[in-house]
Amino acid sequence: DTGVSQDPRHKITKRGQNVTFRCDPISEHNRLYWYRQTLGQGPEFLTYFQNEAQLEKSRLLSDRFSAERPKGSFSTLEIQRTEQGDSAMYLCASSLGRLAGVTGELFFGEGSRLTVL
């Protein structure tokens, strides 16, 4: 296993179009996270899954954003009716949940960079 993979790595789209990003986590990891990062800022939490269950969504995730993780394997993040403010790096990370609910370290994919024109 070569780690977390994301696709596509770069996406340029026009305002109003829909885009979808895919993330394949490290195979034995049961937790999958989506973060967004803009220039000069640290990653901001968007949502996360434990297996197939989506446990939390940040208030940053407007109704235009939806994430799924069918069968607890890969995940998709869809943005509908994109806006210029959606331009960012979308990072996926996975981790192996530990006993007592303490998460382990997050391992990030290479990210999907979105540019909305």
Partner 1 sequence: QKEVEQNSGPLSVPEGAIASLNCTYSDRVSQSFFWYRQYSGKSPELIMSIYSNGDKEDGRFTAQLNKASQYVSLLIRDSQPSDSATYLCAVNSYSNDYKLSFGAGTTVTVRA
Q: Which of 53, 63, 84, 101 binds partner 1 (CB under 8 A)?
A: 101
Of 11-19, 22-30, 39-47, 71-79, the window that binds partner 1 (rule: CB under 8 A) is 39-47
The CA distances from residue 99 to 25, 46, 96, 102, in Å, are 20, 24, 10, 6
Of 15-23, 71-79, 80-88, 96-104, the window that binds partner 1 (rule: CB under 8 A) is 96-104
Q: How far is the CB of 48 from partner 1 (least distance, A)?
A: 6
Amino acid found at 112: S
Q: Are strands 107-108 and 88-95 parallel, antiparallel or unpaired?
A: antiparallel
Interface residue list for partner 1 (CB under 8 A): 33, 35, 40-45, 48, 55-56, 89, 91, 101-103, 105-111
